């Protein structure tokens, strides 16, 4: 089911994500997905996340679909030109995959194949336009598609806590005009900033699902502060992670922080996107504690 259909029905949409393996053994990915079966509306499948080579997300989406999950096909512009992007989109439609997350993609220098050639033939905005053209029955060259045109639910990302915020709002508006129908956000640890962001984007009229990355360690929090644009983990949360090392090591502190953040922000938005980074077994507890 399309995520926006759930929003129209008044549902608070909960999604999570898994990463395909660096190989062809899907046991770990499927094991992680089972933890959240019945607890989330859909599962994002990452696409060579952080520019690290893994199994293709489309194949992983197809496997999840066959197992009874609703996948969200994340597709980035970093590794494909417009021919390959359109081919994968048509393949996704053939597999019955409806939900997309359209991304420009992390740069090659962040990953494990630093000599690879980045493509970036399109960006996330022009990719959204590309999907819209396919839905109209034409490819980007203006050629008519054979048979029924595909129909998707198109998502994109936004960073609500970026400073300055105006460039994010400008890009968000461009994505909406290109056909994007929902947004999953970068990780948010500052509810006050998120509330201000939501007030400014209310006029756009599209669902926003707030992103939650479960904090595992103090080092992880500091790394994000130093290296991930648009994310700031406040000192108060870092001190909370420091307070009881055993509790943090077990994951309980991260669970409590995540649940508290969702409780604080769930009335501001239309859903939550969990990014557990391998801690999928903790997602049900987080959602239970958050009351969603």
DSSP state, residue 211: E
Pick the closest to residue 157 from 233, 225, 209 (CA basis): 209
Residue 227 has pLDDT above 90, yes or no: no
C-alpha–C-alpha distance, residues 45 and 116, integer Å: 22
The CA distances from residue 149 to 71, 132, 136, 176, in Å, are: 20, 10, 7, 21
First to last CA, the chain: 19
Model confidence at 107, in pLDDT bands (50, 70, 90)? confident
CA atoms within 13 A on the CB side of 94: 10
pTM here is 0.94
CATH of the domain at 269: 3.20.20.220
Locate 99 and state its tokens. Answer: 């939900």
- Predicted confidence (pLDDT) per residue in 56-86, tens digit: 999 999 999 999 999 999 999 999 999 999 9
Quote the CA–CA distance of 161 and 229 in Å, as a whole number: 9
CA distance 143 to 148: 14
- Establish how many alpha carbons lie within 13 A of residue 91's alpha carbon, considering only the half-sphere containing its beta carbon: 15
What pLDDT, on a 0 to 100 scale, did the predictor assign at position 150?
A: 97
127-176, pLDDT tens digit by residue?
A: 999 999 999 999 999 999 999 999 999 999 999 999 999 999 999 999 99
Q: How sure is the predictor about 264, in pLDDT bands with cuts at 50, 70 and 90?
A: very high
Write out the residue range of the structural domain in which residue 203 sits: 3-290
Q: Please, are residues 165 and 200 in contact by the beta-carbon 8 Å criterion? A: yes
Is the previous residue joined to 164 through a cis bond, with omega within 30 degrees of 0?
yes
Amino acid 230: pLDDT: 87
At a CB cut-off of 8 Å and minimum separation 6, what does 59 contact? 20
Mean predicted lDDT score pLDDT of the chain: 96
- Domains contained in the chain, number: 1
42, 97 contact by CB (below 8 A): no
């Amino acid at each position: 089911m399309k995520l926006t259909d759930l929003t129209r029905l008044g549902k608070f949409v909960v999604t999570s994500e898994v990463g395909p393996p660096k190989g062809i053994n899907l046991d770990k990915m499927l094991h992680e997905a089972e933890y959240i079966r019945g607890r989330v509306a859909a599962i994002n499948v990452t696409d060579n996340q952080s520019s690290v080579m893994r199994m293709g997300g489309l194949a992983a989406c197809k496997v999840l679909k066959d197992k009874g999950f609703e996948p969200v096909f994340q597709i980035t512009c970093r590794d494909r030109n417009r021919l390959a992007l359109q081919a994968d989109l048509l393949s996704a439609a053939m597999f019955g995959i409806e939900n997309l997350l359209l991304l420009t993609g992390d740069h090659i220098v962040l990953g494990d194949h630093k000599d690879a050639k980045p493509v970036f033939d399109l960006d996330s905005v022009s990719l959204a336009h590309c999907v819209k053209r396919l839905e109209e029955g034409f490819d980007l060259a203006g050629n008519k598609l054979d048979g029924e045109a595909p129909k998707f639910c198109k998502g994109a990302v936004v960073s609500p806590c970026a400073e300055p915020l105006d460039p994010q709002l400008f890009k968000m508006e461009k994505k909406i005009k290109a056909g994007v129908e929902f947004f999953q956000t970068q990780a948010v640890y500052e509810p006050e900033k998120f509330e201000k962001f939501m007030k400014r984007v209310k006029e756009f009229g599209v669902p926003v699902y707030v992103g939650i990355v479960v904090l595992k360690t103090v080092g992880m929090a500091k790394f994000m502060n130093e290296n991930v644009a648009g994310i700031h983990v406040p000192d108060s949360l870092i001190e909370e992670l420091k307070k009881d090392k055993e509790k943090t090591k077990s994951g309980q502190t991260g669970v409590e922080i995540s649940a508290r953040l969702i409780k604080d922000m769930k009335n501001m938005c239309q859903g939550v996107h969990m990014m557990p980074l391998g801690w999928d077994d903790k997602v049900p507890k987080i959602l239970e504690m958050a009351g969603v």
